[in-house]
Structure 1
Amino acid sequence: MERIKNWASFGGQQQVWRHASTSLGCAMEFAVYLPPQASEKNAKLPVLYYLSGLTCTWENMVAKAGAQRYAAEHGLILIAPDTSPRGVNIPGEDDSYDFGSGAGFYVDATQTPWARHYRMYSYVTQELPALIAEHVPAAEMARSGIFGHSMGGHGALVCAFRNPQLYKSVSAFAPIVAPSRVPWGEKAFTGYLGPDRSTWNSWDATALASATDWRKPVLIDQGMADEFLENQLKPQLLANAAAAAGIPLTLRLQAGYDHSYYFIASFIGEHIAHHAQQLRR
């Protein structure tokens, strides 16, 4: 573990760390925001993970979302990993924006040559929490939440639904809720998981809704001016599945907002407040 960046922010510290990942077989970076409360003696604070979308790194949320202000207000530690392995030199991984580099889709790939490195699910749910537990003394790992945007919203929902014992809160901005049924997901899942669609359901939040034990509140915001709404996102599919399964999901359709970080920055305070409420129960 090597700290490579550190900025003062809202009384706390915005840091970036680099390490050798055993899950992914490459060097990885992730961001940590330590609110001012983390410097108090014997501090133990909730942890909130943010998963970014296609083409992004940790930097998009850190620089554009304005999350540090609200994390400082509520006393939450924010963790933002990258979106895929980096520098593993698989042929074709840089050929398109929606598969390969920057597009790990938070699954554990089973197909050659992706299975060796593209294991973002294991990284997010196992390796990264272990690193935080070891290197961030103020982190209380038993109080962890997760949220994300677009591909990262898909990842957050899947991680929570598959691991209700690990996370106490979840939310998403414009998530890909049914990747098995939209072009982005079909491309990624075919490449990472293979053509057998029966194996895809365990990585699809809408499909998982009927099987998960998750029963804590879910918050989703979706911009109505989002160019990807009808073709790639389809939030009503998850809303319907959640209602049928008894999952308390709130879907807020926000008029005039698109898929950008202007949208995320407009509502991130409310999302962090949602997590703070759940994580302090």
Structure 2
Amino acid sequence: MTVVSENRCFDGRQLRFRHAAETLGCDMHCSIYLPPQAQAGPVPVLYWLSGLTCTDENFVHKAGAQRYAAEHGVAIVSPDTSPRGDNVPDDPEGAWDFGLGAGFYVNATEAPWSSHYRMYDYLATELPALIAAEFPVQAERCSIFGHSMGGHGAMVMALRNPGRYASVSAFAPIVAPARCPWGEKALSHYLGPDRDTWKQYDSCELISAGATQLPLLVDQGEADNFLAQQLQTSLLEQACSDSGFRADIRYQPGYDHSYFFIASFIGTHIAFHAQAIARSQA
């Protein structure tokens, strides 16, 4: 692991590092914010997953999360959204919604994607182990959240790994990728044509199949131009209602899909996770 940048921020440290990711077969960048409390000892950790076209830096620069992380004494890890490098395949048509920047947090099974696009295993195993070994965090006290494609990824990670995360939250998540154009394109390429294999990466399908309850918060902007076709929050509401899965799903009037939306409510989400982590250890 090599630290490539470090900045003081709200008396904590904002770092960006590079490491060789065995799971992905390439070098990866990742960012981590360590609050001032980390100077005295290990702190709980939140994992943030970003959306389509993003890198590890979008959240760091635009969300304004460091202020709230410092207040609550939590670290925030922000990984990249896909493998990177000259040998990593990209959409041959150069589209922005697939390939580089659009890993969809799955383990690809189809060539040529399967040799690198294994973001699920990277996030489930390799990256947390690296963070625990290199930084002053309490690895077992963690939660996860994200935006859009990253909201999908965060929810899938939490629903498929009961007991690992104290809570999960999302901004404008893709809740049913098996039933929207972005998801259908990505999953058909990464996983192949058998739609049954897609269900393991679909939050609505996981909840309908009996996923273990954990605290879930979702914020969705009512002015989000992706809401009707790509995000389809109503499908999540229906799946939760049908399954008795408790979730706080909030529609925010006037807000769109941008980081202005995220910055407006990021403090609420960090507080939500800090409280859930505290309750889980009580």
The TM-score bracket by the shorter chain reads over 0.9
For residues 13 and 274 of structure 1, what CA distance do their matches in structure 2 show? 22
For residues 279 and 49 of structure 1, what CA distance do their matches in structure 2 show? 13
2:212 equivalent to 1:214? yes
Q: Which residue of 2 aligns with 1:261?
A: 259
SS of the residue corresponding to residue 80 of structure 1 reads strand
Measured after TM superposition, the shift of residue 80 of structure 1 is: 0.2
Matched to 1:191, the amino acid is H
Matched to 2:76, the amino acid is L
SS of the residue corresponding to residue 280 of structure 1 reads helix
SS of the residue corresponding to residue 30 of structure 2 reads strand
2:111 equivalent to 1:119? no
Matched to 2:98, the amino acid is F
For residues 64 and 116 of structure 2, what CA distance do their matches in structure 1 show? 31
Q: Which residue of 2 aligns with 1:191?
A: 189
For residues 156 and 17 of structure 1, what CA distance do their matches in structure 2 show? 22
Q: Which residue of 2 aligns with 1:129?
A: 128
Q: Which residue of 2 aligns with 1:140?
A: 138
Measured after TM superposition, the shift of residue 44 of structure 1 is: 2.5
For residues 91 and 51 of structure 1, what CA distance do their matches in structure 2 show? 20
Query: Deviations 1:10-43 (Å, cap 9, x if unpaired)?
Result: 0100000100000000000000000000001xx2
Measured after TM superposition, the shift of residue 212 of structure 1 is: 4.3
Q: Which residue of 1 aligns with 2:29?
A: 29
SS of the residue corresponding to residue 153 of structure 2 reads helix
Measured after TM superposition, the shift of residue 89 of structure 1 is: 3.7
For residues 158 and 93 of structure 1, what CA distance do their matches in structure 2 show? 27
Structure 1: segments with no counterpart, 5+ residues: none
Is the Cα–Cα contact under 8 Å of residues 176 and 204 in structure 2 kept in the other structure? yes
SS of the residue corresponding to residue 247 of structure 1 reads coil
Q: Which residue of 2 aligns with 1:159?
A: 157
For residues 142 and 91 of structure 1, what CA distance do their matches in structure 2 show? 35
Measured after TM superposition, the shift of residue 91 of structure 1 is: 5.6
SS of the residue corresponding to residue 131 of structure 1 reads helix
Is the Cα–Cα contact under 8 Å of residues 160 and 214 in structure 1 kept in the other structure? no
Q: Which residue of 1 aligns with 2:11?
A: 11
Measured after TM superposition, the shift of residue 57 of structure 1 is: 0.5
After superposition, the Cα gap between the structure-2 partners of 1:20 and 1:258, relative to the gap in structure 1 and judged at 3 Å, is same
SS of the residue corresponding to residue 200 of structure 1 reads helix
SS of the residue corresponding to residue 184 of structure 1 reads helix
For residues 42 and 113 of structure 2, what CA distance do their matches in structure 1 show? 38
For residues 122 and 215 of structure 2, what CA distance do their matches in structure 1 show? 25
SS of the residue corresponding to residue 165 of structure 1 reads coil
Identity of aligned pairs, percent?
58
Is the Cα–Cα contact under 8 Å of residues 90 and 100 in structure 2 kept in the other structure? no
Measured after TM superposition, the shift of residue 242 of structure 1 is: 1.4
Query: Deviations 1:138-168 (Å, cap 9, x if unpaired)?
Result: 2111111000000000000000000012111
Alignment TM-score, normalising by the size of structure 1: 0.97
Q: Which residue of 1 aligns with 2:95?
A: 96
Alignment TM-score, normalising by the size of structure 2: 0.96
Counterparts in 2 of 1:62-81, with a 5 A limit?
A: 62-81=60-79
Query: Deviations 1:194-252 (Å, cap 9, x if unpaired)?
Result: 01111110110000002344212200000000010000001111111112222210111
For residues 50 and 89 of structure 1, what CA distance do their matches in structure 2 show? 23
Measured after TM superposition, the shift of residue 90 of structure 1 is: 1.9
Is the Cα–Cα contact under 8 Å of residues 93 and 99 in structure 1 kept in the other structure? no
